Amino acid sequence: MTLLWLVAVLLPGPWCVLAHPGNDLFLPLRSRAVSPDNTCGGSNGYTCPSSMPCCSKYGWCGSTADYCGTECQATYGTCTAGTISPDNTCGGSNGYVCPSSLPCCSRYGFCGSTSEYCASPGCQPSYGTCSVAGSASSSTAISTTSSSQKSSSIASGTISPDNSCGGNNGYICPPNLQCCSRYGWCGVSDEYCTNGCQPEFGNCITSTGSPQPTTTAAVVNVLRPKIGSVPYGSVIYDCEVAGDIAITFDDGPYIYTSDLLDLLSSNGIKATFFIVGNLHGAIDQTPDWTSVIQRMNSEGHHIASHTWTHPDLTTLSSGERKDQMYQNEQAFVNILGKFPTYMRPPYLAFDDACQQDMSDLGYHVISTNLDTKDYENDSPTLIVNSEDTFNDTITQNSPSSSSFIVLNHDIHEQTVYTLAQYEIDRAKANGYRPVTVGECLGDPAGNWYRAGP
C-alpha cells in the first residue's frame, strides 16, 4: 500500500496541504521551482516566471493570449494576459504585449520574430517571448484566423531552422515567412502562398491576415535601366555637395508623420522618408498611411524604400531579399503609380550579396554618417543626447568641406516634436542647407522613381 504523507505547513496566510513529493499537484504555487527553461506544468511541475506568467495548455510559459487563454494551467502560473498590441508596438508607455505571430518585443518597442527582436540583450520578456523561432517555446501548435481569410491549422512541429518546410523534415514555417510552398520553402509572396501551398506546414494566407500587395510578373519584369551618376548597389554614406544635410526618417509612416510633414512645410524643408511597407499595417491597405505617403509625394519629399517588413537583409536568401523589395514596390505602385530607386537596409546591415541584389534591382543604397540614435533617447529628458550628437558633429566640421546624411525615425514622438526642429535650426545656423538625399547626391528628381507596370 502506498503511504501518502500529508503535512500541514504554516504559511503567511491560510494553512496549506502538501502532498507526497511524487504527486506535487497540491503543492502551493510558491513551493514549486520557477521554470529555468520556460517549460511548465507536466512532469517537471515548474511554475512560470513573472515575466512570462501564463502556463499554456502545451506546457510553455508566456504572456500573450495564446498562453493565458483557453486551457491555460492556472496551477502553474496566472491566466491573465496583457493587452495584445494593435499596431506591433510593445512595452514602454503603452504596455502592450506582442501577438503570437510576432512574439518578441525588441529593445526599441516593436514586435517581431527574428533575432533582431528576440535576441538578448534588449528583448523585453515582460511583453512577449525572447526565444528565436526554432527554440523550445516556438514548437507548439499554431493557428491563425483572419476575418477575411480562411484559417489554416498547422501541425504541431519544429519551426524551420533553414526556411525549408514539409517534406521529409516536417518543419513548419516561422511567422515572418509563414507560407510553405509546393516545393518545400517558406515565404510570404504569391509563389509561396498560392498554388500548391502546403497548409499543414504553414499558413496559405498573408502575414497579418490582410491582403498583401500582389507580387506580379509585371512588377518583377519592370525594366530597370541604371540612369544618372549616382552609384547602384554600393553603400552611400554622405552627400556629393558640400554644405548639404539630408535629413532622413526611417520606419514610418506612423501616427506622428502627418505632424512632421506640417513642421517641414512650415519650415520650407524637404526631407527623405525610408518607408517600411508593412511594419504598422500594410501601407496600401491602411488609409492613414496611404494618404500620408501621397501627401509626401505631392509636397515634394523624397520617398525611398526600407523593405516590406524590416528584416535584416544579411540573414535572408537572395530570393527573400528581392521579395522584400518587390512587395514594397507593388505597394508603392498601388499608392503612387511608381516605386523608388533609393533604399536603406534595415539596421544598416549590408553585405556583398545584398549589394549585388540591390544592384540587380536598380537601387541606390543609402546609409548614414550621422546617426542621432533617437531610438535610444525617446523621452523629454533624454532627447538632448540626440540633439548634442547632431550639434557636436556638424559644428566640428565645416560646411565648406563636409556634408551629412542624418538618420532619424519618425516613429518616435520626441524626434518629431523636438529633434526635427532642432536639427533644422542648428543646420541653418551653422551654414548648412537641409535637402533631400536625391538632391544632396546631385540626382534629378526624375531619377528617384521608376514608373509602375
Residues annotated catalytic, as ranges: 250, 409
Strand partners, 303: 273
Distance separating alpha carbons of residues 171 and 80, to the nearest angstrom: 31
CA-wise closest residue to 175 among 142, 215, 145, 147:
142
d(CA 160, CA 320): 15
Among 47, 50, 176, 70, smallest CA distance to 60 is for 47
CB-based contact 197:187 (threshold 8 Å): no
Nearest to 216 by CA among 45, 318, 339, 107: 339
Grid coordinates representing 317 are 536568401
Determine contact, residues 414/378, Cβ cutoff 8 Å: yes
Cell of 272: 527623405
Angstrom distance (rounded) from CA 325 to CA 309: 10
